[in-house]
Amino acid sequence: MLQKYSFYWVAKALLSHYWRHPWQTLFLLVGLSAGVGLWSSVQIINRHAQTSYSQANTLLGAQANYWIRSRAQQGIAQQTYIDLRRAGFRQVYPVVETEVSTGQGDPISIIATDLFALPVELFENYGNDSAPGSPSDWLAFIQPPYRSWVPQQLAKELDLKAGGALLLRDGRKLPLALIQSRPGQGRQILMDIGAVFALTNEPRFSYLAVGTISPAKLRRLESFLGDDMELVENQQHLDLAQLTQSLHTHLTAMSLLSFAVGLFIVFNAVRFSLWYRRETILNLRLMGVGVPVLSAAILLETLLWSVIGTALGLLLGIQLAQFLLPGLSASLHSLFNASLSGIIELEIDSVIKAWLITLFGLAWALAWPLYQQLKTDVLPASSTGVAIDSERRARRILTLGAAILVLVAAFLYPRIDNATNGFILLGLLLFAAAWTLPLILAGSLRLIALFLPAHSLFGRWLLSDGWSQMPALRTAIMALLLAMTANLGVGTLIDSFRGAFIGWLEIRQSADIYIRGTNIDLQQLLNSEDSSDWLADSHLRIGVTSRWRDRPTLIRGADTRAPDSLSFPLAQWLGDSSADALALWRTQPGSILANEQTHYLAGLMLGENVQLETDDGLRDYRVVGFFYDYGNPYFQFYLPFDEVAKRWKYAYSRGLALWLKPPSNDVDNPMQRAEDEIRKSGAQAGDWIRQAEIRQLSVKIFDRTFAITSAMNGLTLIVAGIALLASLLAILQERLPQFALWRALGVRYDEQLLVMACPLFIFVSVAWLLAIPLGALLSWILIHKLNIVSFGWSMPMRWQMAPAWELGMLVIAVVIFTLLLTVIQLRRRLPEALARLGTLT
């Protein structure tokens, strides 16, 4: 009882500190909630994405275990579907997936089915709670003029209100909108199949989905299908999980870095809160409170902070996730055709994980300062002497730790074969650099001291003040170093990737027009009498989708003489030059070009034979070159057109590229003329796209993909800025009596500011200088190791100093801002400190 009572008073005495020092409370909360918020936002997004992948096909049936598809990708005729239903296959229901362009040119996915044909379990899902609410809405959905069911997030992006109609690029409108979201719907608009047929003028289904079915019936269904159709297992969610794994690992790594930077604020706040309470702790010990009771009280405090920090962090995390999700969702849709729903749900395991990581962070931040505090003698020796020794010891321990991290990183380097290992390596290197920083800062002060004139007392004072600021600033400068390194490293990665991507687009998308519609008579277009007036060249490509090494794979047939085939950008080739390899591919039967992904992710080597499943059985092709294939998550092979047409009879058109002649007397506007001819061939708006538009769209997708990375990068830098501000304010509080003394000795504000600012600028400059090579190393590893093992894309690194200068300027601005805030605080609080000068110990 007595123990419980004393525990209450000890806890009360310790916690009362936070009422008296609201700034520290605020910074502790900011550090915790920023770290946990950034980390949990990505966790929530990742979790949300994984749930969405597992529900990838739930919009039209999680039970769609199989799909019936046309081998030639020509869709399924209505009669086939009717025949199957008549034969008793009630588990089969039709699905149409198509894409339209909005008035602004943004692609929008539409999915449609015949709701009455859905298996009972699905019909209950869609017919009852998720379809339009009232019976009249329900009927309106399935009867002309129909309704389109638009997910909330998409409606928000398109600025589409309920009852409004989305205007398409060709001037037509979608049926009136009902704004409703459903897990698994993602960014797809759901419509009745009749509405889609009216829209596309193409009464064929994309595929037939098969619900729960017995093995015997499945075999019967397979035998029922003609040769031109195939029954394939629905592996969409498995593929998505596999394809997107690296992307999510990248995001997790970024969020862990943000958490670490946030933790530096916590570390500082905890350190200072213990420092301020050293008298309280010593007094409690003098009054007979034992270390176990003190430890228990501090443990209780830690638990309290962890709960509050987790709650605030999760609130922030949800907001951030909601802010970041639309961009990521759009990217995932563009890259992987994955749909994420716009509704974020917080799972209990995310809450528990967030709490555990908060607790871990707090315990990690608290352990060393608390140990130091509690092991201090009840009657301590000179605190300055202890602080100097402690700082020197801390520097040694950190440097030793850094050396160990570097050794582990060196051991790990040759073993990087996946994104997780790669990020562990990066983490080790970053923390090794951060832990070496105090030694480098100390070294820089010693170095400056060598160049100071012997008689310069002011210089010695300035440097000595640097030494005294170092313990307090150390962690903040470490956080700043991490944030700056990440900023430069990731910035260089994005910049390099963007440069490589745009350069690659210019070569790969050299045609003036790309046609992708399926209801166009391409031969008629190419063979029209006067096509030679405006058409310089063309490239008709065909392809089949397959699986190779358990991953979706595209096999394409290309015209080896087409302009874009002649300048195929190869990353690696057999022979002396890429031109030799391309010549080999054109002329030597059995030669194949493979994308880099097959090399880096599946281990395919130059000159090696790749075995592909053709209609005639397995055939070997010799790899003569690997081509760049940015943004493609799938494996891809290029064979000559005739080879694909011969070996895969259901190869289907993958589009036509047209190169136009320059304007001439006969045709003054070839583009206009070409588009007129394309229309005459049966094409509708959206079936073709101009070069400038497709490039713009590709770059837009690229930028959107990296928007979340840039956002995380920026937020991490802001958190580091807050860490710096928190440290400076803590220094101000800690050293206020000293500053008061300076004033009493006649030191002016400008001199005082100079003494405070100079060491800070020295430290920040050293951190910035260190961040430059570290950032370059980080981007080198990201580009040449992680990007390759994660995505299979290689690219040259483009290092530029301009971003480093910009970052330097930004950090200086942050430092000046924090100094200004500190000076304002100083002016406000100095009179009180001066008045207490005679009474302070």
Enumerate binding residues for another protein (CB under 8 A): 382-385, 388, 457-458, 460-461, 464-465, 467-468, 737-738, 741, 743-750, 831, 834-835, 837-841
Rank residues 76 and 445 by Cβ distance to another protein and give the closer one.
Answer: 445
Rank residues 411 and 749 by Cβ distance to another protein and give the closer one.
Answer: 749
**Which residues, 6+ apart, have CB-to-CB distance to 52 below 8 Å?**
183, 184, 186, 338, 339, 340, 341
DSSP 658-673: EEEPPP-SS-S-HHHH
Rank residues 556 and 829 by Cβ distance to another protein and give the closer one.
Answer: 829
Minimal distance, residue 456 CB to another protein, in Å: 9
Helix (H, G, I), strand (E, B), or coil: what is residue 772? helix
Minimal distance, residue 742 CB to another protein, in Å: 8
Q: Which two tokens stand for residue 825?
A: 């605080």
Rank residues 618 and 745 by Cβ distance to another protein and give the closer one.
Answer: 745
How far are the Cα atoms of 248, 250, 332, 633 from residue 245, in angstroms, in the given order? Answer: 5, 9, 12, 11
Q: Which alpha helices (DSSP H) does 608-706 contain, by range?
A: 641-647, 670-680, 691-705
d(CA 626, CA 747) in angstroms, rounded, equals 69
Rank residues 91 and 468 by Cβ distance to another protein and give the closer one.
Answer: 468
Minimal distance, residue 468 CB to another protein, in Å: 4
Rank residues 707 and 747 by Cβ distance to another protein and give the closer one.
Answer: 747
Rank residues 22 and 746 by Cβ distance to another protein and give the closer one.
Answer: 746
Minimal distance, residue 834 CB to another protein, in Å: 4
DSSP 714-765: HHHHHHHHHHHHHHHHHHHHHHHHHHHHHHHTT--HHHHHHHHHHHHHHHHH
Helix (H, G, I), strand (E, B), or coil: what is residue 374? helix
Between β-strands 176-179 and 652-660, what pairing exists: parallel, antiparallel or unpaired?
A: unpaired
Minimal distance, residue 757 CB to another protein, in Å: 16
Minimal distance, residue 472 CB to another protein, in Å: 13
Rank residues 116 and 749 by Cβ distance to another protein and give the closer one.
Answer: 749
- Please check whether residue 764 is in contact with residue 480, taking contact to mean a CB–CB distance below 8 angstroms: yes
Q: Which helix (H) or strand (E) holds 285?
A: helix 278-286
The β-bridge partners of 591 are 622
Rank residues 685 and 834 by Cβ distance to another protein and give the closer one.
Answer: 834
215-251: burial string, b at 16+ Cβ within 10 Å, e else: eeebeebeebbeeebbbeebbbbebbbebbebbbbbb
Rank residues 7 and 467 by Cβ distance to another protein and give the closer one.
Answer: 467
How far are the Cα atoms of 234, 301, 571, 637, 729 from residue 555, in angstroms, in the given order? Answer: 20, 61, 19, 5, 62
Rank residues 460 and 498 by Cβ distance to another protein and give the closer one.
Answer: 460
Nearest one of 509, 591, 586, 569 to 793, comparing CA atoms: 569
Single-letter amino acid code for the residue at 334: S
Peptide bond into 145 cis (omega under 30): yes
Rank residues 162 and 447 by Cβ distance to another protein and give the closer one.
Answer: 447
Minimal distance, residue 248 CB to another protein, in Å: 49
Minimal distance, residue 447 CB to another protein, in Å: 18
Where do the DSSP E strands lie in 180-223?
189-192, 204-205, 207-210
Task: Please give the torsion angle defined by the CA atoms of residues 493, 774, 719 and 703, in that order, rounded to the nearest 10 degrees.
Answer: -10
d(CA 570, CA 360) in angstroms, rounded, equals 48
Q: Provide the CB-side half-sphere exposure for 400 (13 A, CA).
A: 6
Minimal distance, residue 737 CB to another protein, in Å: 8
Minimal distance, residue 746 CB to another protein, in Å: 2
- Phi first, then psi, for residue 548 (nearest 5°) are -140, 130
Rank residues 457 and 618 by Cβ distance to another protein and give the closer one.
Answer: 457
Minimal distance, residue 467 CB to another protein, in Å: 6
Minimal distance, residue 743 CB to another protein, in Å: 7
Minimal distance, residue 20 CB to another protein, in Å: 18
